[in-house]
């Protein structure tokens, strides 16, 4: 991805300005006590669609609209689809979102409520992508990948700019890791501005495709399993062009969490931080609670990626 540069990230920020929130960075006294250094939470939960995905989707669709594209489609575990539907509606584009039967109903309903055409296909992200590519071939849609796309990555990378502008002495950034769009974008921007920043990716132990791919030295297929961190599910694509190499280049530590640990993070967020978060957004907090992060040298930032959890599930976990 040699053509990708920091200039692309600043261009993305200009393109999404006014359509996407510059999100708060707030200190967590509870997590700071455990970590022994200041811990700050980057709250992507306040985005209009409830997750960071709005950044990448908005940048990608705005670029496509400039090129005259009118119909877009994606495959999603929920949050990217919701972001694409929101961005498409604001830009006047037709949108279709393909999702597997594993995607929680609340996320499917949220996409439909934004006016996108919803297609349920198979039981994995890979199945949903096959259906999305059929719509490209047969109905003339433009495909917008959920993570492995330069414009999507550049949009997510704007989080890295905001973190280092707000907290220039940041020593480490903890990022939920799935297909790598968020991680590779934030890491790319952060390490070009502050090369010493330590980048940690955190994911679930059940069906972690990027972890398996990094271990194998190439993109590999994994079985997609049910997990509290459903937004981190799905493969990275055997023909991955960008995020695998960028993640491998920039990752300093990779942490796997079991389901009990993810649940503890969700509960902690609610009881101590007064935040309702989904499992994927809780993993950074879980890693601090479990004391599995390499010893931080200074201020630590955790990206809290989204709040789109099924509310009944949240009640059962948090006892609310």
Give the active site residue among 42, 51, 53, 286. 53
- The dihedral built from the CA positions of residue 236, 255, 161 and 55, taken in this order, carries a sign that is positive
Fold for 53-143, please state it.
Answer: Rossmann fold (3.40.50)
pLDDT at 296: 85
Q: For residues 149 and 127, is the Cβ–Cβ distance under 8 A?
A: no
Residue 3 has a CB neighbour count (10 Å cut-off) of 6
Please, what CATH class does the domain formed by 6-52+149-318 belong to?
alpha beta
Question: Tens digits of per-residue pLDDT, 13-36?
Answer: 999 999 999 999 999 999 999 999
pLDDT value, residue 2 = 46
Percent of the chain with pLDDT over 90: 91
Mean pLDDT, the chain, rounded, equals: 95
Query: Side by side, which strands form the sheet with 71-75?
Result: 117-120, 94-99, 71-75, 142-143
pLDDT at 171 exceeding the cut of 90:
yes
Tell me which of 51, 184, 231, 305 is the catalytic residue.
305
Distance (Å, whole) CA 320 – CA 315: 5
pLDDT for 1 beyond 70: no
In the chain, list all ranges with CATH 3.40.50.1100: 6-52+149-318, 53-143
Answer whether residue 320 shows pLDDT above 60.
no
| Catalytic-residue membership of 53 | yes
For residues 294-316, average pLDDT: 95
| 200-234 per-position pLDDT tens digit | 999 999 999 999 999 999 999 998 889 999 999 88
- Does the annotation count 107 as an active-site position? no
Question: Using CA atoms, how far apart are residues 128 and 39, in angstroms rounded to an integer?
Answer: 37
């Amino acid at each position: 991805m040699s053509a990708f540069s920091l200039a692309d990230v600043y261009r993305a920020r200009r393109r999404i300005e006014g359509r996407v929130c510059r999100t708060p960075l707030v200190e967590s006294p509870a997590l700071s006590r455990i970590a022994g250094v200041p811990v700050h939470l980057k709250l992507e939960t306040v985005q209009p669609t409830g997750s960071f995905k709005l950044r990448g989707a908005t940048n990608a669709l705005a670029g496509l609209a400039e090129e005259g594209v009118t119909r877009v489609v994606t495959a999603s575990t929920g949050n990217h689809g919701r972001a694409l539907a929101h961005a498409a509606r604001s830009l006047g584009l037709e949108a279709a979102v393909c999702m597997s039967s594993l995607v929680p109903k609340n996320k499917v309903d949220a996409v439909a409520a934004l006016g996108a055409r919803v297609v349920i296909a198979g039981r994995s992200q890979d199945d949903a992508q096959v259906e999305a590519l059929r719509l490209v071939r047969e109905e003339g849609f433009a495909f917008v990948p959920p993570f492995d796309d330069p414009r999507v990555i550049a949009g997510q990378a704007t989080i890295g700019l905001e973190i280092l502008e707000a907290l220039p002495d940041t020593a480490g950034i903890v990022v939920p890791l799935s297909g790598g769009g968020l991680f590779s974008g934030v890491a790319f921007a952060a390490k070009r501005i502050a090369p010493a920043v330590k980048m940690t990716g955190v994911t679930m132990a059940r069906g972690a495709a990027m972890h398996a791919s990094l271990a194998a030295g190439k993109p590999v297929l994994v079985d997609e399993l049910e997990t509290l961190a459903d937004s981190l599910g799905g493969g990275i694509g055997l023909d991955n062009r960008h995020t695998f190499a960028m993640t491998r280049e920039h990752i300093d530590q990779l942490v796997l969490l079991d389901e009990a640990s993810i649940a503890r993070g969700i509960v902690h967020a609610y009881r101590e931080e007064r935040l309702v978060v989904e499992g994927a957004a809780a993993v950074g907090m879980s890693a601090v609670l479990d004391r599995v992060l390499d010893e931080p040298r200074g201020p630590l930032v955790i990206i809290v990626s989204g709040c789109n959890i099924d509310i009944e599930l949240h009640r059962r976990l948090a006892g609310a």
